[in-house]
Chains A and B, each alone.
Chain A
């Protein structure tokens, strides 16, 4: 667990920079927007302020829900002044919620900046409530606060909270491969088929329902499907599981290397690996060839957002021929990203952290062909004549695996394509 191990750096490899200042990123609460769709009988109750409630509904409220699976317990003055026992208040709110939604099987109490600053112990509250509502509902807690988590780190915190409650491995049978990270259902199904063809038994974290969570134990080997799962990996390792180092399954190359890490660990014969992956690789290459014409040679600038930036930059540079101007990431896990960094073109500037106005100055100075950024910056940059790809979409679009490689490239090609179409 040495996240700050020295990098290949000096002799070739990427150039790492760190920056501090104003950050234009989401907090971890935003993960709820896709997690509540992934685990179908889970409910996310944020314990926070009106700001937290406002954030989530601004992000998700354009969909019209007849039964939303998230809500906020808004802390008010009485809670702050100690006039109300915060724990009793929380119990009351949870009771009201569960009466209304008897279909809920898993309830996440999600910490926020206010609840962290006033040191409300949601871990204890979850434990207490779990006893009270058991066995029908499990109650867990994690923090999605902005002071501790950036955007996708909310998913990391959520999955890490699930890990201690995962069932132990069945004795005797060989432990299945564990794939960690919320994936689109269609992607998960594709990977399940590929692993089955390779003869590797596999389970996914998170499971789609509260009762369908994968087992874990000392025999478990796991692959991260997402680059932002530092705490989840640590929690799995604490239960004896072993991480298989690999780049992330983006693009033809990334997917192959990711699958190969599992194949090697499970002793799959190289001929079999070749035979199973060949059709997918061919399809991915074919679909990428079409997008390459539009993206090759384009200069790309990444603002930090999700920690997907480094794998995405690797994919754009190596498989589509894009030129990387700057690859911003909110946080760089040097160990989990080591395989990715090794694949980046020499001299690529990777900046960790952000000083927004300075970074905008750099972006304006180099005038990229495409800037990958959050929605707070996208329209303003477009108005300045910079083509943008809004980065949040990469989190709720199926992008992993062979059969999404073309779609992933298309996400970057589409704004460029659009620019050429519009005549007004």
Chain B
């Protein structure tokens, strides 16, 4: 058992729902107890969709357990087919139905429907939402994609001279973090390269569209969490190369354009010409100088965490003091990236571990998920959301991509907004007793409500040596600006402990400052 205050991912059948809801003409029959229909709200409320998800639940109750739940499931499949007439169906079980072992795949097969029915095996007690989405998409692609007429299996696509190159764009789903707008940016980039888009999937695709996947020259994977395994299967089976550079940030977008252009055999020059993003100028303008070396903690799904860490370091000049992901499938990539920042990656899906890591490294900004907003509130640290899980406010009405050159503009605004502005920061450090602008309040452009003193790190404190603060040193510590005070306290105590100093004096404080100064 795991104590879970917040969970970063839902169960795997939510991932399957995200694929089914993204598509058209596909229906999902889910063997699940009454109550699991809460998942509809994710789509109708958080994403504000205007139709019910294409999901039929068996919603069995306790009284049904003594009877034939398998029969209930078969009826649900039969009725869903008769009512919705989908092109294809997926069938599976939620966590509770997995325990009663009715075998949805076998039961559905026995009904012998005149459409493809794809059974899903989603182990709810081992795997999670992103894996469920990836597995569902992979199973659908395997079941439905046909090799293009006239091409030998496994042969690379062979384009007629002069024909326009085409690609598939794979990965965007329902309930994805900014998938709607990312897709628009990427389609625009691909279109301006002169490349045709064969199929976008799962978002907006029908089962018959999946049948045509093999006709493209190559595949673009936007979200490896969802689409990498399907793209790898397409590469093995139809010989379609895949591009999985994730275009989040200016550098990554340039690399993406070059990789896509290379795969299509076209010239990336015109798309990269000029100044396609405002981020490079905004971040070079002197107003941004005070951002240099701001200490940032980054956590999210692997795709967004990796991208945010790179943007934070090389495009905004921050220092990344913590980097982690809850996506274990991508741990290796995140570890390598963390190493390049000189830190150790945090690979965990335990919210309490993340909370402890943030408290221990005392960052000035947290880039994370909805869950890190809870930690940041508790510790009084500015925070921006960069990754799922997210809530309704991160499905904005405005165009708000993370990807492409416009996405970089959005990132600049989003990362900088929660921070105290430069002038305010300076004046706070100089004058401490102003009744309105004092360091107990949040940045004035965010309303300036009081914020809590950062909790003394609930770190796994080796209680061996406790260090005390002399009154004057404690008073001096209060003169250090709020957002770096936690770090200063932490460093000074560490300095004192390492030297076995029982009492921190003014001298110790400044000795430690000199010791740790960059």
A residues bordering B, Cβ < 8 Å?
22-30, 47, 49-51, 53-55, 57-59, 61-62, 64-68, 71-77, 79-80, 84, 86, 89-90, 92-93, 96-97, 100, 113-114, 116-118, 145-148, 150, 357, 374-380, 382-383
Contacts and interface: CB of A to CB of B under 8 A. Distances in A.
A50 B3 CA distance: 11
Contact of B96 (A74, A100, A117): A117
A145 B124 CA distance: 17
B35 A25 contact: yes
The main secondary structure of chain A at its interface with chain B is helix
B490 to A, nearest CB: 20
11 contacts: A22-B76, A49-B125, A50-B4, A50-B7, A51-B11, A53-B4, A55-B38, A68-B5, A86-B1, A146-B59, A150-B35
B128 A50 contact: yes
Contacts of A147: 33-34, 60-62, 64-65, 96
B107 interface: no
**10 nearest interchain CB pairs?**
A27-B35, A146-B35, A376-B40, A383-B50, A66-B378, A113-B96, A49-B95, A54-B10, A89-B1, A147-B62
A66 B2 CA distance: 20
B6 interface: yes
Contacts of B10: 50-51, 54
Interface stretch (B41-49, B303-311, B409-417): B41-49
A369 to B, nearest CB: 20
A160 B328 CA distance: 42
A76 B1 contact: yes
B405 interface: no
Given A24-B37, A25-B34, A72-B4, A80 B377 contact: no
Given A49-B125, A72-B4, A77-B125, A64 B373 contact: yes
Given A64-B377, A66-B377, A71-B3, A50 B96 contact: no
Contacts of B125: 49, 75-77, 80
B387 interface: no
Contacts of B100: 117
Contact of A74 (B2, B35, B38, B452): B2
Contact of B9 (A23, A29, A50): A50
A145 B64 CA distance: 14
B146 interface: no
B374 A68 contact: yes
B52 interface: yes
Given A49-B96, A49-B125, A80-B99, 14 more contacts: A23-B34, A51-B14, A51-B124, A65-B374, A71-B5, A72-B7, A73-B1, A90-B1, A92-B1, A146-B96, A376-B38, A380-B49, A382-B50, A383-B50
Contacts of A92: 1
B518 interface: no
Contacts of B44: 375-380
Interface in B36-94: 36-38, 40-42, 44-46, 48-52, 56-62, 64-65, 76, 79, 83, 94
B517 interface: no
Contact of B51 (A73, A76, A383): A383
B38 A59 contact: yes
Interface string B1-35: 11111110111011000000000000000000111
B392 interface: yes
B9 A27 contact: no
Given A74-B1, A93-B3, A51 B95 contact: yes
B1 A66 contact: no
